[in-house]
Amino acid sequence: MNLFELTVHQILDQIKAGKISASSVLAEVSARAQTLNVKTNAFVRLFPSPEIKAGPCPVPIAIKDNICVKGELTTCGSKILKGFKPPYDAGVVDKIKASGGLILGSANMDEFAFGSSCETSAYGPTRNPWALDRVPGGSSGGSAAAVAAGQALWALGSDTGGSIRQPASFCGVVGLKPTYGRVSRYGLIAFGSSLDQIGPFTKDVTDSALLLNIICGFDERDSTSLNVPVPDYTKALVKDINGLKIGIPQEYFLDGIEPDVAAAVKAAIEVFKKQGAVVKHISLPHTEYAVATYYIVATAEASSNLARFDGVQYGLRAMPPNLRKSPLIDMYEETRARGFGDEAKRRIMLGTYVLSSGYYDAYYLRAQKVRTLIKQDFDKVFSDCDVILSPTSPTTAFRIGEKINDPLAMYLSDIFTIPANMAGIPAISVPCGFDRAGLPIGLQLMAKPFAEETLLRAAYAYEQNTPWHLERAVL
């Protein structure tokens, strides 16, 4: 088997046994990343070959293009950050480098994480390694595709409304969104500050636990980082889930789910039952309002966060050929008109509208109240359940271009992932089968805040009793 097909824990075992070297792994993965990027466009840029330093985890990793890497271009998949090189590393990058991690490059993404397909990037769409005419999901599509294609052994992405879990589902890999505040957001270029969370993409659940061990922890530079103990997540990887209480929400099994997805998820439920889990039907009654609520809260925060990109301090600066108003106003308008893509402009306008005088109470304030109700739904369920199970996405990967001109259809791609962000809870997507076209299907598990150990235990027990995580895309 090629080195790029192995999991990180398999690679580390072989390095420890002296069978392979970190340099040989880096050389093989780097070569594959370079060669295959013509097909996948998973990376927007590959960095110069990193120096191998001492550390427990000297393996190649892809970093989403909205996570700052000191001295390297970091552009959020947007023209407006043209030429921007951060003067510091993000908190998670600090931790990756301290562990000996080797950063390959910036993974492609929907512009400013605005999208569910990785088609809105200024650098062109990323293609799904399982079918190059399909999207990899978004917004962290490049990270998911890189892992699925063997262009990186693992990757980091960010999840605001499903941007780790949905692409993980589409690309047949494991994607985990930690509890809000569990992982530092320092150096993550913000989309929705109360929703964003950095998390891992891996080939299996064991690797997810390993990477979580590296990136979790308190960071005083991030005001949303929580100072709570960080366990060794690998100790949660046990197959015994006898008595684990799993809730099946009726609101997550709708008529719009593709039949192959529904069948795969129902088969997964039976696997849990055979392992001794207690399955019960539950209700999360405010789920139907989650998408509408999210696209008020998230766009409001995006409008505020993106106001800083105006051509003054960094990134693109543009002037019209002829003076229209004043040099300053003209520069603002021309920079933002040229720098932002259509989806970014759409979300900025939506967010500005819901925050504007006369509409704040009717939209933003009401949305925050509904968000509280959504969180209370989860709190109630978790008083009697350990894990909630659902599909990750109602569909498998759709064709490139299929939904790009239909924003509502695109937004509904995240219908099952958005509620976890609204409530701030951890959630994971693991492979659970393939549809009749051979496209991966994802199973989502959610747990109460800071119960990543429970989440990993359930995911690992399922994974070890099914073959899906062993499948690899052929390119």
How far is the C-alpha of 221 from the C-alpha of 212, rounded, in Å?
Answer: 19
120-141 tens-digit pLDDT: 999 999 999 999 999 999 999 9
Please enumerate in sequence order all residues whose Cβ is within 8 A of that of 78, keeping only pairs 6 or more positions apart, or say none.
111, 112, 122, 339, 340, 341, 344
Mode of pairing for the β-strands spanning 440-446 and 174-177 = unpaired
Active-site residue (options: 64, 79, 203, 448): 64
Mean pLDDT for the stretch of residues 240-244: 97
Residue 1 has pLDDT above 80, yes or no: no
Task: Give residue 340's Cα distance to chain centre.
Answer: 22
Mode of pairing for the β-strands spanning 102-107 and 43-46 = antiparallel
425-467 tens-digit pLDDT: 999 999 999 999 999 999 999 999 999 999 999 999 999 999 9
356-368 tens-digit pLDDT: 988 999 999 999 9
Nearest Cα residue to 184 out of 222, 232, 136: 222
Active-site residue (options: 99, 106, 158, 163): 163
- Which pLDDT band, with edges at 50, 70 and 90, does 324 fall under? confident
Query: Is 64 in contact with 187 (CB distance < 8 Å)?
Result: no
Please enumerate in sequence order all residues whose Cβ is within 8 A of that of 266, keeping only pairs 6 or more positions apart, or say none.
none
Query: Which range of residues forms the domain containing residue 104?
Result: 1-475
Residue 32 has pLDDT above 80, yes or no: yes
How far is the C-alpha of 45 from the C-alpha of 73, rounded, in Å?
Answer: 8
261-276 tens-digit pLDDT: 999 999 999 999 999 9
Residue 310 has pLDDT above 80, yes or no: yes
Query: Is 216 in contact with 230 (CB distance < 8 Å)?
Result: yes
Q: What percent of the chain has pLDDT over 70?
A: 100
Place of tokens 């308190």: 218
Place of tokens 């051509």: 311
Total number of domains in the chain = 1
pLDDT of residue 322: 87
Encoding tokens for residue 244? 């684990």
Q: Is 163 an annotated catalytic residue? A: yes
pLDDT of residue 323: 83
Query: Is 319 in contact with 334 (CB distance < 8 Å)?
Result: yes
- Which helix (DSSP H) or strand (DSSP E) does residue 382 occupy? helix 366-382
Q: Is 325 an annotated catalytic residue? A: no
**Positive or negative, the Cα torsion across 45, 100, 231, 217?**
negative
Mean pLDDT of the chain: 97
- What CA–CA distances, in Å, run from 60 to 3, 20, 25, 30, 208? 11, 14, 8, 8, 15
- Which helix (DSSP H) or strand (DSSP E) does residue 242 occupy? none
Nearest Cα residue to 457 out of 249, 234, 273, 174: 234
386-404 tens-digit pLDDT: 999 999 999 999 999 999 9
pTM to 2 decimal places: 0.97
Other Cβ atoms within 10 Å of 51 Cβ, number: 6
pLDDT of residue 256: 85
Please enumerate in sequence order all residues whose Cβ is within 8 A of that of 386, keeping only pairs 6 or more positions apart, or say none.
244, 245, 246, 447, 451, 454, 458
Query: Is 154 in contact with 101 (CB distance < 8 Å)?
Result: no
pLDDT of residue 2: 93
Mean pLDDT for the stretch of residues 79-95: 98
Q: State the CATH number of the domain containing residue 190.
A: 3.90.1300.10
pLDDT of residue 246: 98
How far is the C-alpha of 132 from the C-alpha of 40, rounded, in Å?
Answer: 7
